[in-house]
Amino acid sequence: MSHRIIKPGLMTSIQDLGRKGFQQHGVIVGGAMDGYSLRMANMLVGNDEGEAALEITLMGPTIKMEKDCLISITGANLSPAIDNQAAPMWKPIHVKAGSILRFEGCISGCRAYLSVAGGYAIPEVLDSKSTYLRAGIGGYMGRALKAGDILACNEPPSMMDRWEVKGSFSYPKWFVNEREFMPVRNPLIRFIDGSQYEHFTNYSKLRFVEGSFKVSNQSDRMGYRLSGPALECQSHEELLSEAVTNGSIQVPPDGNPIILLADRQTTGGYPKMAQVISADLPIIAQVKPGESIQFSRVTLREAECLYLHKERQMKEWKASISLALHDWHIY
Amino acid sequence: MWKNPLNETACQMSPLGDSAIVLTFGNGIEYSIHKKIKLFMEMLEEEPFAGFVECVPAFTNLTVFYEPLVIYNTHKQSDEAISPYHVVRSILEEKLLDLMEDKKLSHRTVTIPVCYGGEYGPDLEYVARYHDLTTDEVIHIHSTGEYLIYMIGFAPGFPFLGGLSEDIATPRRSSPRMTIPAGAVGIAGKQTGVYPISTPGGWQLIGQTPAKLFLPNVNPPSLLQAGDMVKFQPISEQEYKEMKGG
C-alpha cells in the first residue's frame, strides 16, 4: 500500500508533533506548524494523534493512491479533489485504489494536513518522524517530497475490509466544524510578555498592540518575519544566547519582529519582546505571507486557561470522533 | 528572586511562554554560574518531575520545558484552578534546596583534530596578519588553549566555547560566506567553534576537522555536550584525509 507523489506541490513534508528531548544538543523540535489540525487529521482516520502526516503548503501535491485507503484532509482549504471531483475536508474519506488526489488552489489558510489510516511507514530518527530540512534527517529522506517519491503506508486497522466504496471515494455525513480551527482575516494573536519585554520602550509596547503587522514573503517554517511599526529597545546591549521556543517574538536591531515557529533554532540572542500563547500558534501557522495580524496582550494565567480549555475540547472531539468512526464501520 | 537560606544560590525564575520556565543564576560568562546550571540540570534529569520534557542550558540560565496538561492533571485538586507555571516553579524551588554547590563537576575532555590553513582554513592568514603573528603562532595559540562548552545551540551539535585567547580574537568577516562546510573551525570575536552542518556564516575559518559533531543516529546526537572541555589537535592534510575516509 502506498501513495505515489506525481507532483510535489510547493512544499510538502512529513511532520508529526515534533522531536522532543534533544534541544540541549541543538536539535530543533520541528513538527507540524498547526498541531491541532494535524491531530484532528489523525483522529479522523483512527490514528494516534501524533502520527506523522503530510504537511502541505499553499500549492498542494498530486498524489496517486495505489490501494484502497482511508484518508482525511484538515487545515487550509487548498481545494482538494479526487478524480476531478471536489473532496470534503474535516472528515474521513475512503478512497478507491488508483484514484488521484489533487489540490486545485488555495481558498483559505496556508497549511493542509493529509493523514492516512495506519500512518505512513516512516522510520523514526531521534524519536520522531518529522522532517528536519536543514539537517537533512527524518521524514522522507530528510527532505521535502519530490515527484516520483513513493510513500509506503502501514497496514490500516483490520475493520477497513468491511467498508464499501461507491465511485472513487465515499465519506460519512458528519464532519468536524472547521471554524474551531481556521483563523479569520487579520486574526488577533494573543501573547504574554517575552523575557525582555521590559527592555522595550513604552512607545514600542504601545505600537505593538495598536499596530497591524504584515507577514513578509521571507516567512517559512522557521519563522515569520513581520513588518509594521518598528520596535525599539531602551538599550542596545548585546544579549547572551539563550533558549527560545515556538512563538517567541524576537526583535533584531532593525525593529521588525520575527515570530519563531516549528523549525526555529534552539537558542537565540535577540531580545524577546513577546511570546505567542500555545493556543494561538496554530492560527499563525495558517496565516499566509502578505496577510496581516494584530497582537493582544494577555496574562500567563489566561494563556494557561486557554491552552487547557483547548485541550479539553480536543479530548471531547476525540471521544465523539472515535464513536462516530466506530458506528461508520459497523453500518 | 528565589534565594536559598542555606547557601549562596540565588536564582531568578520567569516564564518562557506557557510551557517553559527560565532559571537565571547570574549574568556574564562565568564558570561558577555554569557549574550551578550544570549541577541543577543533572539533578533534574536524574529525577525528572511528572510533566518534565527537557531542559536547555545557556551561559547564565537553564530553561526547563514542561507539559502543562500533565502538570495540571497531576496536581489539580477538586475544582480548584491551578497554574501549571506556579506548580513547576514551586517544584523547582524545592529542588534548588538540594543543590549541592560544593559537588564536583566531572569534566570530559574531547580532542578535536584540526587540519589548519590552506584550503581547509582560508582565513588563517588573515587572522595571522590581523594580529601580526605567523600562521604557526596562530595555530599554536588556538591548539594549546582549553575551551569549556557553555552551551550547544544555533545548529545541531554546535558548541559555544569559552576561553579563546585575546591574542587571536578576530572580528567576523565583513561579508559572510553563503556556505560554510560542515567541520569548519572558525573564530568570531572572542568565540571559536566548529560548524557541525553546512550553513551560511561570517566566521573567520582557520581549519577543518574530520570529526563528525552531529550524529543523528546516536543518542545523544551531539559529539559535544555543555560542560565538556575541548582541545584542538593539529593534524596534517594526509591525516585529515585518512580520518575523513575512515
Provide the shortest C-alpha distance from residue B130 to chain A (in Å).
24
Taking CA–CA distances from B158, the nearest residue in chain A reads A26
With a threshold of 0.85, tell me whether the complex ipTM lies above it.
yes
For B209-238, what is each residue's pLDDT tens digit? 999 999 999 999 999 999 999 999 999 999
Write out the residues of chain A at the interface with chain B, using a CB-CB cutoff of 8 A: 20-28, 125-126, 134-135, 137, 192, 195, 240-248, 265-267, 275-278, 300-301, 303-305, 307-308, 311
Parallel/antiparallel/unpaired status of strands A12-15 and A53-57: antiparallel
pLDDT tens-digit map of B6-20: 666 789 999 999 999
Domains and CATH numbers, chain A: 2-179 (no CATH), 188-298 (2.40.100.10)
Nearest neighbour of A303 by CB, restricted to B14, B18, B157: B18
Rounded to 10°, the helix B31-46/B84-97 angle is 110
| CA nearest to B14 within chain A | A195
Number of A to B CB contacts under 8 A, please give it: 140
Cα A19 to chain centroid distance, Å, stands at 14
Is A25 within 8 Å of B152 when comparing Cβ atoms?
Answer: yes
| Distance from the Cα of residue A98 to its chain's centroid | 28
- Number of Cα atoms under 13 Å in the Cβ half of residue A100: 10
| Residues 222 through 241 of chain B touching chain A, CB cutoff 8 Å | 222, 225-226
Q: Which residues contact A71 (CB under 8 A, 6 or more apart)?
A: A45, A65, A92, A93, A95, A101, A114, A115, A116, A117
Q: Which residue has the cell 569534566?
A: B107
CA distance linking residue A35 with residue A72, whole number of Å: 15
| Peptide bond before residue B220 is cis, with ω within 30 degrees of 0 | yes
Q: Do A247 and B17 touch (CB under 8 A)?
A: yes
Helix, strand, coil proportions of chain B in percent (round to 5)? 30, 30, 40
Q: Using CA atoms, how far apart are residues A236 and A216, in angstroms rounded to an integer? A: 25
Tell me if B22 and A243 make a contact (CB, 8 A cut-off).
yes
Question: pLDDT band at B54, cuts 50/70/90?
Answer: very high
Cβ–Cβ of A278/B155 closer than 8 Å?
no
Residue B136 Cα, gap to closest chain A Cα (Å): 32
Helix, coil or strand: residue B130: helix
For the segment B154-207, what is each residue's pLDDT rounded down to a tens digit?
A: 899 999 999 999 999 999 998 889 899 999 999 998 889 999 999 888 899 999
Chain B residues with CB inside 8 Å of A318's CB? Answer: none
Answer yes or no: is pLDDT of B83 > 90.
yes
What is the helix (H) or strand (E) element at residue A110, kind and residue range? strand A108-116
Q: Long-range contact list for A79-84, CB < 8 A, 24+ apart?
A: A79/A103, A79/A104, A79/A105, A79/A106, A79/A107, A80/A104, A80/A112, A82/A168, A82/A169, A83/A168, A83/A169
Asked whether A38 and A18 are in contact (CB, 8 A), the reply is no
Q: Which pLDDT belongs to residue A331?
A: 42
Residues of B in contact with A265 (CB under 8 A): 153-155
pTM score = 0.94
Task: List the helix and strand counts (H, then E) for chain A.
Answer: 4, 21
- Of A61, A116, A66, A63, nearest in space to A96 by CA: A66
Mutate to test the interface with B, among A249, A267, A297, A310 (most CBs of B within 10 A): A267
Nearest CB among A137, A243, A300 relative to B63 is that of A243
Q: Is the dihedral of CA A13, A119, A264, A179 positive or negative?
A: positive
Interchain pair B219, A126: CB under 8 A:
yes
B:19-58 residues touching chain A, CB 8 A cutoff:
19-20, 22, 29, 41, 53-58
Domains and CATH numbers, chain B: 2-96 (3.30.1360.40), 109-244 (2.40.100.10)
**Among candidate residues B139, B140, B145, B133, the one with its CA nearest the CA of residue B120:** B139
Nearest to A151 by CA among A115, A127, A102, A126: A115
Mean pLDDT by runs of 10 across the 331 residues of chain A is 94 98 97 98 95 98 95 97 97 94 96 97 97 95 98 80 75 86 86 96 97 95 95 85 96 94 94 97 96 97 96 95 77 42
B interface mutation test: which of A242, A281, A307 has the most B CBs within 10 A? A242
Smallest CA-to-CA distance from A178 within A257, A21, A72 is with A72
Residues of A in contact with B110 (CB under 8 A): none
Is the Cβ pair B18, A277 closer than 8 Å? Answer: yes
Question: What phi-psi label fits residue B154: left (phi over 0), alpha (psi between -120 and 50 degrees) or beta?
Answer: left
Cβ-defined contact of B154 to A26 (cutoff 8 Å): yes
